[in-house]
Structure 1
Amino acid sequence: MRWLITGGGGMLATDVLERVALTGEPVIALTRADLDLSEPRAVRDFVCAYRPRVVVNCAAWTAVDDAEKHEDEALAVNGTAVEVLADACVRAGARLVQLSTDYVFDGRSARPYREDDEPNPLNAYGRGKLAGEVAAAGHYVVRTAWLYGAAGRNFVKTMIRLAGEREFVNVVDDQRGQPTWTADLADYLVRLAQSDQPPGVYHGTSAGETTWYGFAREIFTLLGTSPDRVRPITTADYPMPAVRPANSLLASTRGEQLRDWRAALHAAWPVLATRAGHQCSPA
């Protein structure tokens, strides 16, 4: 099975590349400089020539707040480019695994969102990712949320940095979600692509739930410092250009739920702390 990963060098793509490489199957990860997904002919030509069996699209506009001012540009990356890639995959007979997000939902549900719940994005980023889901119809769409990993910027690394800079850190406590380690998600994506599961929408997040505040407290505990240095605030106390859903919980009713978010964070900690420049042992 030959693999193509787009968004090469990114947080998730790095872990997907590592997981596929462990299988011994041929794989290549391309950055935007290698292959611009906004160029239909270039995409078709490359996919036709390389002939991957699976394409995992990790390329995305992930700057949620910037998307509010640059919605057309974000849509081009998260929606239009997916249409181009999906068409190239159909022509080459390849499976496409398209990543999506909890932000396609408005967060008003009292329960975790299922795969068949009706999307209703609150912000430009969510609208663009929903357009990508529509473009990838007939392929695999995997929604995930609150990602962190070793290769890129993320909440865990930010908290580690702020713990060394400030006495107290204010963190939002009225948004619920599932912190998800990219290594766990990468394992799931590889298993899904290799499986006999039918194409469609799947959810790939850690089990359990917390808030950003609860997540931050666990990080401070692992740092060996008092979690009481993290102080809870509301979303209204920390206004951002893009509206965030209060409920980002995703239920997995078609695929598999990943391990509990706290267990995953503890397993990831040695690598995360080292990459962030903090030498410590798990608490």
Structure 2
Amino acid sequence: MMEYLLRPKLRYPAIQDSLEVAEALEIVLSKADTATLVLLLERQLVGNLVSIDEKCVMALVSKRNGDLPKTAIAATLDMLMEHSIAMEIKDLHKSPLHDLYAFHDRIDLFQLLLDRRADPLRKSGKSGKGDTPLVHVSETGSKELVRMMFKSLDTRNDIPLEKLKTELERAEYMATWGLEKRAKTDVRPLLRRYYWRKKYQNMSTAINTVSSKTQQEEPKKESKKESKKGKLEAQKEKRRERRARRRRKAKIKDEVLFWDPKSLVQLLNVIRD
């Protein structure tokens, strides 16, 4: 089938996004075969194929046993993204992380998807009311995957604390349910510690913001006081000068002899000033 699709001249050429192309693409991605993937993309056979059997294309990269090099997996993901293959299925509100949460042996692919902005808080389902990958991973009891998701969330500043609290509470509930069924590891302490850490970080950020505002306002108040003080000093200096001129005029008037020309000129100069 692969030879048929990649044959240069075909009497009946392969159709873009067809079932044959989807099967070939799934085989290529499972092996992280970038050379064959380039040929499929260059011949525009993939098109807008973002899911195969309702699984994200990105989640099909590498085998389940995790024996492929991390560099090959990363190169395959980057190649898909360069050709505008969507990370998430918008119609299904689905992330490739939804397809991987149960496979704890595909850690490298999980981490590479998180590095490329796969959303751990993406809700599944057409109505967007399903669970997030974080909730599913908590249910399976994988501390490693939970920590990887938390590191990814730490790089984001667009998540309200209330939304995060809601998702962590849901994750804790499903972690409890998972322990009763099949999970062997309790991830609930991780979830609680992460929430309280984020909460106190937000509090410290708010306190620092308030303190910085007060520090900025204090110099303004001081500058206003200094300017006001400077105006008062200038007014006092003007009053002192006026009093001094009045005293000089009074003194000269007492000493002036109108028949003395020099005294008269001095008096006129003082009045003119």
Q: Which structure's CA Rg is the greater one?
A: 2
User: Above 0.5 in TM-score?
Assistant: no
Return the structure number with greater relative CO, CA threshold 8 A, min gap 6.
1
- Normalising to structure 2: TM-score of the pair? 0.26
Return the structure number with greater strand share: 1
